[in-house]
Amino acid sequence: MKLAKSIEEIRSDFPILSTKAHGKPLIYLDNGATTQKPLQVISVMEELYRTTNANVHRGVHYLSDRVSERYESARETVRAFINARDREEIIFTAGTTASINAVAFSFGERFVGEGDEILISGMEHHANIVPWQMLCERKKAILKVIPFSDEGVLDLDAYRRLLTERTRIVAITHVSNVLGTVNPVKEIVTEAHQHGIPVLVDGAQGIQHGIVDVQDLDCEFYVFSGHKVYGPNGIGVLYGKADLLNDLPPYQGGGDMVANVTFEKTTYNVLPFKFEAGTTNFTGAIGLAAALDYLSSLGRKAVAEREQALLARATAGLSAIEGLRIYGTALQKVSVISFLPGAIHQYDAGMILDKMGIAVRTGTHCAQPLMERYGISGTIRASIAFYNTEEEIEALVKGVRKVTEMFA
């Protein structure tokens, strides 16, 4: 598969990539934290504020109608992008964290009680740990954790054993933000469904690297953030199967989510509005749709293939450095590569790389239990996007080599 544009054309779509950092050309390899935005997104958002700003769903007037239409059309774009059955199954939220918190609250209120179990994995981001811990504390439920191997592969036998009649929900990351592992989500869902247990998939690191088909995965919930998929920040998605969403109480009360309000009794609006209290981030939603359109126009498969090629190059280059260890060597991986060069502290390495213009992330990556699993205090993480180049990967490898010399 070939990308619809040349890499030069693609890079010129992302003005920020021509930034100089400390006088050097910026090499942005922190895409797992946030991705850069193409002009196609930036200009849509600017145009919205210039020409089409009004509150959605509230007016009879011209502008409100126009922006409401575009907001709903953004919902349709998201639906098509993840192949959800129905538009009403797409709830706009503030991001992955907000989506998970919403499910933990609403699902928890409805289905979780004392002694029940919530099953997550050992490679979760804090955003898919803490909301469940809070739920467990509220309901006196128990949090169970699926272990994983040194390579960063989930132990599916252990998973099967951990599914009990008390398990109320499985919440699992699609892709590990540290290890890059792509979890066998479909298999996990099938297994859970055999016990009648619903599954939430944290797609924060999955949505941008390939094709996500929620009907094929058959998960009950799939959540992700706009800013990690080349869209604006402050917008995210909660996909949920309509039947289940209809069955859950709302997690926030306010305007737009209601049908009738009296001081005695309020009835709630239908999906998706039941879960969208208050003025939503409609500019963000429309910007996100522009980002998804941009990815689709490049060719999602081609994007994934390019990233795999860059990952292979980075893995080969870094592996050749003596004493360097890569954390996460699963066969199914996205273009996220965590490593430590010998005994060199990740923060030391990150500071030197920064001075070379190379942006990587260092630290625990909001996954402290995972670090504990490996007995380390953090890693250096290079997360690669399709707009990165072979030369940038070479520069990273050369930079890490230089770091190992400086600290030798």
Partner 1 sequence: MTINEIQDLIIEEFAQFGDWMERYEYLIDLGRSLPPFDERHKTPEYLIEGCQSKVWLFPTFENGIITFTAESDALITSGIVALLVRVFSGRTPSEIVEANIYFIEKIGLRENLSPTRSNGLLAMMKQMRLYALAYKSKQEHS
Residues in contact with partner 1 by the rule CB under 8 A:
22, 344-345, 347-348, 350-352, 355, 362-364, 377-378, 406-407
Nearer to partner 1, 21 or 309 (CB): 21
Give backbone dihedrals phi and psi of 222, rounded to 5 degrees, phi first.
-135, 125
Handedness of CA 228, 231, 235, 241 (dihedral sign): negative
Closest distance between partner 1 and the C-beta of residue 338, in Å?
A: 15
At 320, list the tokens: 């050749």
Nearer to partner 1, 58 or 355 (CB): 355
Residue 26's contacts (CB-CB under 8 Å, 6 or more residues apart) are 16, 17, 18, 19, 20, 357, 359
Nearer to partner 1, 299 or 363 (CB): 363
| Residue of 90, 304, 360, 366 marked active site | 366
- Going by C-alpha positions, the residue among 201, 198, 209, 152 that lies closest to residue 172 is 201
Distance CA 317, CA 100 (A): 37
C-alpha distances in angstroms, 297 versus 2, 78, 213? 12, 14, 18
Nearer to partner 1, 248 or 344 (CB): 344
Nearer to partner 1, 289 or 353 (CB): 353
Nearer to partner 1, 174 or 361 (CB): 361
Closest distance between partner 1 and the C-beta of residue 341, in Å?
A: 13
Residue 239's contacts (CB-CB under 8 Å, 6 or more residues apart) are 82, 84, 89, 90, 91, 214, 221, 222, 223
- Going by C-alpha positions, the residue among 368, 20, 308 that lies closest to residue 178 is 368
Closest distance between partner 1 and the C-beta of residue 220, in Å?
A: 34
Distance CA 208, CA 34 (A): 11
Nearer to partner 1, 108 or 350 (CB): 350
Q: Establish whether 136 is a catalytic residue.
A: no
Contact 69, 216 (CB under 8 A): no
Distance CA 24, CA 45 (A): 30
Contact 178, 327 (CB under 8 A): yes
Count CA within 13 A, CB hemisphere, residue 100.
Answer: 28
Q: What is the C-alpha end-to-end distance of the chain, expressed in Å?
A: 43
Peptide bond connecting 198 to the previous residue in cis, omega within 30 degrees of 0: no
Q: What is the DSSP track for 356-370?
A: TTEE-EEE-TT-HHH
Residues recognised as catalytic: 366
